[in-house]
């Protein structure tokens, strides 16, 4: 769990600086950063923090956790409009997420085909975005292959829409927060595709280490999210994954490489036509999912 938290703290720092360029020091680069999503049949989740520039002067002894605590937004206002109703999301502490403070509501549940407009304000910051929840993406089966205590996980999708955009995320079933898988954003080139489900980035005491295979274990089950997303949302995830894959310590040199669909801020607001699956990592297995 400790490595998982460190991984997401570094993800937050990356997201915070993703649109900050190298400009004169007397210019204030601070923006509001939105991490938010709404899945089909689920309630929205939004997290807010302010951006952090590695060019800015700071205490060299400040930890990543300290940066997170300093920049997360606890008393913002988040308004969600679904085309019929406008709802102010309620903020509350939730240590299952990082930052450990979320804005949500039980009054709105995601519906396929609906547009959801988001507006987040905090002090002098104001950001907005909109997203549409596409039709649900589904996997027809998942296979796990064990080799030398490593597990290769492969999904099979037989009903993709050619040219449309999809993402793959994963988490342990003990966690609530999904993370994008390495190489986990793609456009469908065929109706039927085999999709490798890579282990989200892990971190060791020695630094960042990319592990594309899952460890063989009987103590941890994995939840997989397979989702269809819109074009702007895909561009965010695709550029984020590319940034991760092409730089060693990826949060150290990020200047304008990650695209965002947030106007007036950084980050993402993503409608997901998502399906979720749970698998085990202890043996070779075949999971089949009949279409309803």
Domain assignments of the chain as residue spans, ordered by start: 2-288
Mean pLDDT of 161-168: 98
Query: Cis (ω within 30 of 0) for the bond into 99?
Result: yes
How many C-beta atoms surround the C-beta of residue 123 within 10 A?
A: 10
What integer pLDDT is reported at residue 117 of this predicted model?
98
Cβ pair 223, 277 in contact under 8 A: yes
Q: Identify any residues that bridge with 4 across adjacent strands, giving them in sequence order.
A: none
Q: Quick check: 69 pLDDT over 60?
A: yes
DSSP letters for 169-180: EEEETT-S--EE
Q: What pLDDT does residue 291 have?
A: 77
Cα 14 to the center of its chain, rounded Å: 12
DSSP state of 30: -
Q: What is the pLDDT of residue 21?
A: 38
Q: What percent of the chain is predicted at pLDDT more than 70?
A: 76
* Cβ 183 vs Cβ 170: under 8 Å: no
Q: Kindly report which listed range (213-227, 254-268, 272-286) carries the lowest average pLDDT score.
A: 254-268
CB 135 within 8 A of CB 274: no
CA atoms within 13 A on the CB side of 195: 35
pLDDT, greater one: 28 or 33 = 33
Query: What does the DSSP 8-state code read for residue 250?
Result: T
Q: Running DSSP on this structure, what letter comes out for residue 195?
A: E
> In this structure, what token pair is assigned to residue 116?
């959801």
Among the residue ranges 21-35, 72-86, 164-178, 244-258, the one predicted with the least confidence is: 244-258
* CA–CA separation, 258 and 238 (whole Å): 8
Helix, coil or strand: residue 127: strand
Contacts of 110 (CB under 8 A, 6+ apart): 38, 39, 40, 41, 42, 43, 44, 116, 133, 271, 272
- What pLDDT band is residue 3 in, cutting at 50, 70 and 90? low
User: Which range is least confidently modeled, 58-72, 185-199, 255-269?
Assistant: 58-72
- Residue 208 to residue 187: CA distance in whole angstroms: 28
Q: Is the pTM higher than 0.75?
A: yes
Query: What integer pLDDT is reported at residue 242 of this predicted model?
Result: 85
**For residue range 207-258, what is the model confidence (pLDDT) as tens digits?**
444 568 999 999 999 999 999 999 999 999 999 888 876 654 333 333 356 8
The pLDDT-based confidence of 23 (bands split at 50, 70, 90) is: very low
SS3 78: strand
- Quote the CA–CA distance of 158 and 190 in Å, as a whole number: 9
pLDDT for res 249 = 38
Q: What is the pLDDT of residue 290?
A: 87
pLDDT of residue 70: 77
Distance (Å, whole) CA 199 – CA 80: 33
**What is residue 246's predicted lDDT score, i.e. its pLDDT?**
60
CA distance 222 to 253: 31
Through-space distance between the first and last CA atoms of the chain, rounded to whole angstroms: 35
Q: What is the mean pLDDT of residues 60-71?
A: 66
- CA-nearest of 218, 84, 94 to 144 is 218
Least confident of 42-51, 131-140, 247-256: 247-256
Confidence band, pLDDT 50/70/90 cuts, at residue 25: very low
Mean pLDDT of 86-111: 94
In this prediction, residue 185 has a pLDDT band, given cuts at 50, 70 and 90, of very high
């Amino acid at each position: 769990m400790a490595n998982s938290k460190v991984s997401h703290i570094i993800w937050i720092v990356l997201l915070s600086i993703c649109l900050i360029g190298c400009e004169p020091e007397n210019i204030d680069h601070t923006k509001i950063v939105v991490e938010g999503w709404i899945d089909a049949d689920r309630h929205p989740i939004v997290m807010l923090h302010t951006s952090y520039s590695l060019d800015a002067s700071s205490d060299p002894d400040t930890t990543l956790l300290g940066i997170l605590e300093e920049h997360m937004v606890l008393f913002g206002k988040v308004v969600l409009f679904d085309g019929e109703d406008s709802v102010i999301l309620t903020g509350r502490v939730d240590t299952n997420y990082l930052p450990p403070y979320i804005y949500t509501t039980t009054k709105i549940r995601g519906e396929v085909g609906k547009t959801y407009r988001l507006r987040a304000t905090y002090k002098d910051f104001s950001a907005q975005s909109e997203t549409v929840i596409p039709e649900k993406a589904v996997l027809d089966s998942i296979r796990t292959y064990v080799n030398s205590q490593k597990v290769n996980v492969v999904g099979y999708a037989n009903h993709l829409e050619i040219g449309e955009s999809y993402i793959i995320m994963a988490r342990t079933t003990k966690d609530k927060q999904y993370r994008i898988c390495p190489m986990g954003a793609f456009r469908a080139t065929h109706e039927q595709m085999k999709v490798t489900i890579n282990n989200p980035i892990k971190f060791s005491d020695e630094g960042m280490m990319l592990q594309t295979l899952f460890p063989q274990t009987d103590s941890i089950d994995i939840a997989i999210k397979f989702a269809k997303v819109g074009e702007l949302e895909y561009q965010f995830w695709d550029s984020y994954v590319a940034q991760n894959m092409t730089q060693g310590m990826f949060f150290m040199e990020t200047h304008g490489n990650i695209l965002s669909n947030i106007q007036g801020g950084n980050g993402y607001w993503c409608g997901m036509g998502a399906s979720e699956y749970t698998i085990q990592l202890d043996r070779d297995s075949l999971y089949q999912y009949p279409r309803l």
